[in-house]
Chain A
Amino acid sequence: MDKFTTHSGVGVPLRRSNVDTDQIIPAVYLKRVTRTGFEDGLFAAWRNDPTFVLNNEAYAGASVLVAGPDFGTGSSREHAVWALMDYGFRVVISSRFGDIFRGNSGKAGLLAAKVDEKVVQRLWDYLDDNPGAHVTVDLESRTVRAGEGADAIEDSFDIDDYTRWRLLEGLDDIGITLSHDEDIAAYEATRPSFKPVTQHA
């Protein structure tokens, strides 16, 4: 996984709440067995609508998605994170994320930045008024910034310490866990024999 420190890119206002992972990528796109190439499935149903925000040329090359509350609820499909990243997004900003989506983001290297609802509203208004403007997200200092001068937006975002550290270092979770192999083996030695197994000698 690449290290993530700070990112600045075109922000897109997605003025919707409860964007579940079925909206992010419908199930019909989940049949692939590869890890890449999911960008065509991103928001597939909405992209048919010419007025959908991602179809607005002004937001071309966007990499920071600013969404309403409860983004990424529903299905556990990590393909939702892959689709966002394959399309070019590095950051999603929302006031509330579905738990599994937030976890998947951290694993795959997409930054899910949780901000106050008012910050989302201000970013939406700013990006509507200034299509193509950049939003900067600094993981080191946990701040999100946009605009300049008196109306500039600068606020903090929430991310748990551990995920932040892993993203900053670009670390592989499995490698970290395997370094605790002795602990795992010691735990296994204490498991009760009545616990079920799927294979019998």
Chain B
Amino acid sequence: MGRTLSEKVWDEHVVRSTAGEPDLLYIDLHLIHEVTSPQAFDGLRLAGRKVRRPDLTIATEDHNVPTVDWDKPIADPVSRTQVETLRKNTEEFGVRLHPLGDAEQGIVHVVGPQLGLTQPGMTIVCGDSHTSTHGAFGAIAFGIGTSEVEHVLATQTLMQDKPKTMAVTVNGTLPEGVSAKDLILTLISKTGTGGGQGYIVEYRGEAIRALSMEARMTICNMSIEWGAKAGMIAPDETTFAYIQDKPEAPKGAEWDQAVAHWKSLVTDEDAVFDKEIVIDADEVTPFVTWGTNPGQGVPLGASVPSPEDFEDPDAKLAAEKALTYMGLEAGTPMREVHIDTVFLGSCTNGRMEDLRTAADIIQGHRVADGTRFLVVPGSAKVRLQAEEEGLHKIFLDAGAEWRGAGCSMCLGMNPDTLAPGERSASTSNRNFEGRQGKGGRTHLVSPEVAAATAVRGTLSSPADLTLANA
């Protein structure tokens, strides 16, 4: 019987396999940031261990860094200590670091691909759940906890039970103005936050093949939001073209060898998945969340649901609690929900295409009175490229804020947070209670919806702007 893409990549990385024990899996690339690594380095020091493969390890600063005054010392002493600890640790253990102010600094999941370190057929881990992003290249990539970070630092391996396999086939074509973000939010609303648990998911089908690498990263990024171990997309010409000129891409004869191997990384025709889901891309519309987990979403054209709409008692109770927290009344059209802050950025939607799309929509418009629009590039390189293209001027002219690179308002850890009760439309990945700041209320949206919402001050799609101008 044939094998799936994930089985092929898995099998290539098994160092040791014994019945009754998890497989010992080799890790090709370990990404590090300041928040989940300090205790791991401490553990190494205590045990007198070193980093086994500093040459397969890379660090950057993203979660805890400010996006204004980033060229000055970090004001918050606790944050500063954490960032300085990373600098000390990477120096002591010989790990490459791209610190704040460096041209390659940025969100770890934006940095890996743009350096060309993320390649098909690899195993990639990081102490961050959105490591699933790298699966867009046909890699097995997943988030780990700090104990596992220490384990990888010390051994370059991880003990892992082999997950089951699932195929999500997306047929058809995404309609105009509908993006990868709408597709993944639609999928999560169908499966719930636990639907992918225990599976490595392969996204496939016509609509997936048509996506750019950046859009594929958006899809794989949110795999964890429906509980999947990892998300993957088979590499193809789009993948190879993206990698080819990147700094760390294979060169010369090695490039040819690599591509020849990468072309074998597809699911065999006679392979069988443990589970399959089929989605029709033609049916997907702009999609937004109303609740406090990424599965609580509806089409933008719909209304806030009522707890009575849910049969399952847990879902009913969860909806009640979510509506109270979000300050929403059942039956309110989503388009009438007023937004205080629009956040464009994060490892989900903080790349060049996201910024270009949003700039294109907001050009010639103004950010609505009473709404602020925060634009945060995913990496310093994205910021520099956007500035070269003049996108920052478009945003600034519209009344938006143009920031330095980092995780920013995605997670309420650095100075970019919502105030209690403040409501955001956010291109990030989590609408959990307090995720963007204590008491903050988050609606997850695509970059298209974010830009249109910034203009109208209520949840909107670009089509609403055209209608208003007609």
User: Which residues of A are in contact with B by a Cβ distance under 8 Å?
Assistant: 15-18, 20, 22-23, 26-28, 30-35, 45, 68-70, 73-79, 81, 96, 98-100, 103-104, 107-108, 160-162, 173-174, 176-178, 180, 183-184, 187-188, 191-199
Contact status of A30 and B193, CB under 8 A, knowing A23-B433, A78-B146, A103-B144: no
Nearest-CB distance from A71 to chain B (Å)? 10
CA distance A191 to B26 in the complex (A): 10
Contact of B35 among A26, A30, A45, A70 (CB under 8 A): A30
The 8 closest A-B pairs by CB, nearest first: A107-B147, A78-B145, A104-B145, A27-B413, A33-B38, A76-B143, A194-B258, A194-B254
Q: List 20 A-B contacts (CB under 8 A).
A: A30-B63, A31-B81, A33-B82, A35-B39, A70-B194, A76-B36, A78-B36, A81-B145, A96-B194, A100-B142, A103-B145, A107-B145, A162-B21, A162-B159, A180-B24, A192-B257, A194-B254, A194-B258, A196-B28, A196-B29
Q: Are B128 and A76 in contact (CB under 8 A)?
A: yes
Complex contacts, B347 vs chain A, CB 8 Å = none
* Residue B317 lies at the interface, judged by CB distance under 8 Å to chain A: yes
Q: Are A76 and B129 in contact (CB under 8 A)?
A: yes
* Residue B266 lies at the interface, judged by CB distance under 8 Å to chain A: no
Q: Are A22 and B434 in contact (CB under 8 A)?
A: yes
Nearest-CB distance from B180 to chain A (Å)? 21
Encode contact with A along B416-448: 1 for CB under 8 Å, 0 otherwise: 000000000000001011110011000000000
CA distance A177 to B26 in the complex (A): 11
Contact status of A74 and B430, CB under 8 A, knowing A31-B79, A103-B145, A197-B56: yes
* Residue B116 lies at the interface, judged by CB distance under 8 Å to chain A: yes
* Residue B150 lies at the interface, judged by CB distance under 8 Å to chain A: yes
Q: Are A16 and B159 in contact (CB under 8 A)?
A: no
Q: Are A22 and B16 in contact (CB under 8 A)?
A: no
Complex contacts, B96 vs chain A, CB 8 Å = 198-199
* Residue B172 lies at the interface, judged by CB distance under 8 Å to chain A: no
Known: A184-B155, A198-B56. 19 other contacts (CB 8 A): A20-B430, A22-B411, A23-B433, A32-B82, A35-B39, A45-B433, A69-B194, A76-B127, A76-B145, A78-B36, A98-B197, A100-B145, A174-B47, A174-B155, A184-B24, A184-B52, A194-B258, A194-B261, A196-B117
Q: Are B148 and A198 in contact (CB under 8 A)?
A: no
Contact status of A100 and B143, CB under 8 A, knowing A16-B321, A17-B318, A26-B438: yes
Contact status of A196 and B24, CB under 8 A, knowing A18-B293, A34-B39, A74-B432: no
Within B105-162, the residues touching A (CB, 8 Å) are 116-117, 119, 122, 127-129, 131, 142-148, 150-151, 154-157, 159, 161
Nearest-CB distance from A35 to chain B (Å)? 5
Complex contacts, B411 vs chain A, CB 8 Å = 22, 27, 75
Interface size range of chain B in the complex: 35 or more
Residue pairs across A and B with CB atoms within 8 Å: the count is: 205
Smallest CB-CB separation from B225: which chain A residue?
A: A74
Complex contacts, B154 vs chain A, CB 8 Å = 174, 177-178
Q: Are A173 and B85 in contact (CB under 8 A)?
A: no
Smallest CB-CB separation from A183: which chain B residue?
A: B16
Nearest-CB distance from B258 to chain A (Å)? 4
CA distance A188 to B127 in the complex (A): 23
* Residue B64 lies at the interface, judged by CB distance under 8 Å to chain A: yes
Q: Are A184 and B26 in contact (CB under 8 A)?
A: yes
Complex contacts, B15 vs chain A, CB 8 Å = 180, 183-184, 187
Complex contacts, B58 vs chain A, CB 8 Å = 198
Contact of A33 among B21, B81, B127 (CB under 8 A): B81
Nearest-CB distance from A59 to chain B (Å)? 20
Nearest-CB distance from A169 to chain B (Å)? 13
* Residue B57 lies at the interface, judged by CB distance under 8 Å to chain A: yes
Q: Pick the most buried of B47, B85, B116, B193: most chain A CB atoms within 10 A of its CB.
A: B193
Complex contacts, A34 vs chain B, CB 8 Å = 39
Complex contacts, B227 vs chain A, CB 8 Å = 70, 73, 98-99
* Residue B250 lies at the interface, judged by CB distance under 8 Å to chain A: yes
Contact of B55 among A22, A183, A192, A199 (CB under 8 A): A199
Nearest-CB distance from A64 to chain B (Å)? 21
Complex contacts, A76 vs chain B, CB 8 Å = 36, 127-129, 131, 143-145
Q: Are A78 and B147 in contact (CB under 8 A)?
A: yes
CA distance A121 to B130 in the complex (A): 32
* Residue B351 lies at the interface, judged by CB distance under 8 Å to chain A: no
Complex contacts, B29 vs chain A, CB 8 Å = 196, 198
CA distance A198 to B248 in the complex (A): 8
Complex contacts, A183 vs chain B, CB 8 Å = 15-16, 24
CA distance A75 to B145 in the complex (A): 9
Q: Are B147 and A104 in contact (CB under 8 A)?
A: yes
Contact of B159 among A68, A78, A177, A194 (CB under 8 A): A177
* Residue B307 lies at the interface, judged by CB distance under 8 Å to chain A: no
Smallest CB-CB separation from A20: which chain B residue?
A: B432
Complex contacts, A75 vs chain B, CB 8 Å = 128-129, 411, 430
Contact of A180 among B16, B194, B224 (CB under 8 A): B16
CA distance A104 to B117 in the complex (A): 27
